[in-house]
Amino acid sequence: MNERSSVTGTAPVRTGDGRATNGEILRVKDLCLHFRTSRGVLQAVDNVSFSMQRRRSIAVLGESGCGKTSLARAILRLLPRNVHLYTGEVYLDGTNVMKLSDDWFRQKVRWVKMSMVSQAAMNSLNPVLKVGYQVAEPLLIHHRMPKKEALNRAREVFRIVGVPDDFLQRYAFELSGGMRQRAILAMALVTSPQLVILDEPTSALDMLTQANIFNALKDIKNQLDVSFILITHDISTSSDLADEVLIMYAGQLVEHSLSTTGYVKPLHPYARGLMASVPTLREDKKLEFIPGQPPSLINPPTGCRFATRCPQRFDQCSHEPPVFAVGEQGELVKCWLHRNA
């Protein structure tokens, strides 16, 4: 019961962060999400653990199919029907939300404490409802707020994300792609969540619009008490927002480091290959690529999942799954090369 009461934040304005333990907003421990498919059990997210501090933003990077989006869905408990296994612990603001019932989670956690901007969400706006109403809707539902008040709050959030006030009265088709994406962002921020998951927030937008949206995100990060998890495969763009970098490979986390290490000199061989494959505009560098393909997640290799493509593998790699080692700057890396003595 105690745990439940601590997530009952009903006020739309954020309650203080006194409850938080050592400034930690999210801690994920041994999170697994496996799906049932016709060919067997697919380990989309396998034993992922990480933690993040308040007002930080983490970029989750990896190739398509490595489990980035599944991780986001597992944290938000937005699960499809074919879930085979969904275990682990997700502490949000000190509370293990995995223990909450589905109803309670829906009413008091999702879109109240954390929200999400999903991929290509700008196309999911309802065409027959005014944008302002759609943005205010979470308040009407979660906080039972009077409509007028909710619309006022929506107007406030519109201002934060950089949408003119009169757009409240418009329909989705009257908005450009960039404005629609901002409206979706407003929808995610309207309940003042502490954690917002951005799943490829700008992948469908033009370069200039993308830069504008990231400017808005930086503003939000600097002004509000909100943490971002940015899921993307666009490594260059992710550096615009990230304080920390999580690198996923084949359903597992392989490296968690600060952006100053993660983008510059990553430790895991996969992370190194990934960073070396990013084309840069301003400096001349020889691009590299990682030969081969990621393993199937249905019967992943027993040892390190990257072993078959790794240029630095040795015997142990293909037999024993590596454990996390701590690097010099506190990076966590799942590789036998970096084992701590």
CB of 66 to other proteins, least distance (A): 9
Window of 77-85, 113-121, 130-138, 253-261 that interacts with other proteins by CB under 8 A: 253-261
283 is a contact residue toward other proteins (CB under 8 A): yes
Binding to other proteins, residues 217-236 (CB under 8 A)? 218, 233-236
241 is a contact residue toward other proteins (CB under 8 A): yes
212 is a contact residue toward other proteins (CB under 8 A): yes
Binding to other proteins, residues 87-146 (CB under 8 A)? none
> What does the buried/exposed string (b/e) look like for 94-118 if buried means 16 or more CB atoms within 10 Å of the residue's CB?
bbebbebeeeebebbbbbbbbbbbb
Give the residue, chosen from 22, 280, 340, 341, that forms a contact with other proteins under the rule CB under 8 A.
280
Phi, psi at 118, each rounded to 5°: -90, 170
53 is a contact residue toward other proteins (CB under 8 A): no
Query: Parallel, antiparallel, or unpaired for β 244-249 and 57-61?
Result: parallel
176 is a contact residue toward other proteins (CB under 8 A): yes
Window of 3-11, 144-152, 237-245, 296-304 that interacts with other proteins by CB under 8 A: 237-245
User: Measuring CA to CA, which residue among 180, 140, 177, 143 is closest to residue 158?
Assistant: 180
User: Toward other proteins, which CB reaches closer, 136 or 290?
Assistant: 290
Cα-based angle 240, 257, 225 (whole degrees, multiple of 5): 55
User: Toward other proteins, which CB reaches closer, 21 or 64?
Assistant: 64
Give the residue, chosen from 100, 125, 198, 274, that forms a contact with other proteins under the rule CB under 8 A.
274
Q: Tell me the site size for other proteins, rule CB under 8 A.
A: 50
302 is a contact residue toward other proteins (CB under 8 A): no
Give the residue, chosen from 11, 13, 287, 341, that forms a contact with other proteins under the rule CB under 8 A.
287
User: Toward other proteins, which CB reaches closer, 46 or 244?
Assistant: 244
User: Toward other proteins, which CB reaches closer, 57 or 192?
Assistant: 57
277 is a contact residue toward other proteins (CB under 8 A): yes
275 is a contact residue toward other proteins (CB under 8 A): yes
Contact (CB, 8 A) for 134 and 187: yes
Binding to other proteins, residues 59-78 (CB under 8 A)? 63-64
Give the residue, chosen from 273, 317, 332, 336, that forms a contact with other proteins under the rule CB under 8 A.
273
Give the residue, chosen from 43, 115, 237, 252, that forms a contact with other proteins under the rule CB under 8 A.
237
289 is a contact residue toward other proteins (CB under 8 A): yes
- What angle, 0 to 180 degrees and rounded to 10, lies between the N-to-C axes of helices 147-161 and 131-142? 120
User: Toward other proteins, which CB reaches closer, 89 or 288?
Assistant: 288
Phi, psi at 201, each rounded to 5°: -65, -20
Contact (CB, 8 A) for 245 and 50: no
Give the residue, chosen from 2, 281, 328, 341, that forms a contact with other proteins under the rule CB under 8 A.
281
Write out the residues near other proteins by the rule CB under 8 A: 57, 63-64, 176-178, 206-212, 214-215, 218, 233-243, 258-260, 262-264, 273-275, 277-284, 287-291, 293
